[in-house]
Amino acid sequence: MPSFAARLRAALTGVPAEDITTALSRGAGAAPAAAAGGAARGRLVGPGGASAPPPDVVALLAGVAGAGVPATRDLAGVRAWVVEAEGAPPLALRDALATRAAEREVPWWPVVLDDALDDDALGDPPAPADELAATAIAADGRAWLADRWELLRADDDERDGDGPPSPAAVASVRAELVGAFAPQQGDDPVALLPATAAWQVPAVLGWAPGGADLAALDLAGALRHWEERWGAEVVGLLDEDLVLRVARPPADLALARELARELVAAAPLLATDDLPGPVAAAADLLAPALVGASWWRLYWS
């Protein structure tokens, strides 16, 4: 029977799980791409388990300014290809690779990766029964966020009520939420992960912040909803943070309030860590910062 990782990646990418299992058993680490005529791409090169980048990774990197030599890295059983940015900011390299990956429809998606990220930072993968949700998460993401929000509202009686937060506290939380992402060359590599869109990146790794009562597939549903509505794309994957760049941010305060409540539903610490009082009031304090904001940083610790 195909492994959970193979079945999840199949549900997300449309590649048959058996094909992914065959590739993994050969050491490829890459899911074959769904292509015209059913052709599969990506294989292991070298005897005895020695690996080299599959042809689609080589083609993806060829001629891209700033792309170093790719090295394989195991992330909780998922093989990634990690590329150091040479003479270019990691974010610029990530953007160039994302553009090319979308144009060529290859089964690899780039993300700036925290160099310290290890298996301990990856949450336990969802239970196999949850794979069934993978093909429907686009429709479920908004509903899941609404349910999470109502649960937070129900817990309002347990929140501290020490008066409104100080202007300095509000400004600090807003700055953390929408501050620009500037990964440094040499510290934060770009990883190519077996995904076909940015919203899939946490799910294919089983990434879910520890202690957040958050399943990887539920988070993927929220990410897809935000990507479709706001053009919000995961560009950075850190230990307990996600960084998204936003192409179509809310243009007015009413839309920003709606978005703020969704962001707080997914990452409650945005509103509950330093902003005492009712959660709705705390989320509304974040809303002005989201109007026209090009960056979101979601954190869980």
Q: Could you report the per-residue pLDDT of 113-123, keeping only the tens digit for each?
A: 887 665 665 65
**Nearest-angstrom CA–CA distance, 234 and 224:** 10
Among 26-40, 195-209, 232-246, top mean pLDDT goes to 232-246
Domain ranges of the chain: 128-178+196-299
**Start-to-end C-alpha separation, the chain:** 37
Q: Which among 189, 218, 26, 212 has a CA at the least distance from the CA of 112?
A: 189
Compute, in degrees rounded to 10, the torsion defined by CA atoms 192, 193, 199, 200: 170
Which residues, in sequence order, are CB contacts of 200 under 8 Å at separation 6+? 12, 13, 109, 220
Among 27-31, 54-58, 129-133, 248-252, top mean pLDDT goes to 248-252
Rounded to 10 deg, the angle between the 253-266 and 216-230 helix axes is 170
| Per-residue model confidence as pLDDT tens digits over 20-51 | 444 333 333 333 333 332 222 222 222 233 47
CA 299 to chain centre: 12
Q: Which among 238, 235, 204 has a CA at the least distance from the CA of 219?
A: 204
- Give the residue, 260 or 209, on which the prediction is more confident: 260
Q: Which among 246, 236, 234 has a CA at the least distance from the CA of 189?
A: 236
Rounded to 10 deg, the angle between the 137-154 and 253-266 helix axes is 90
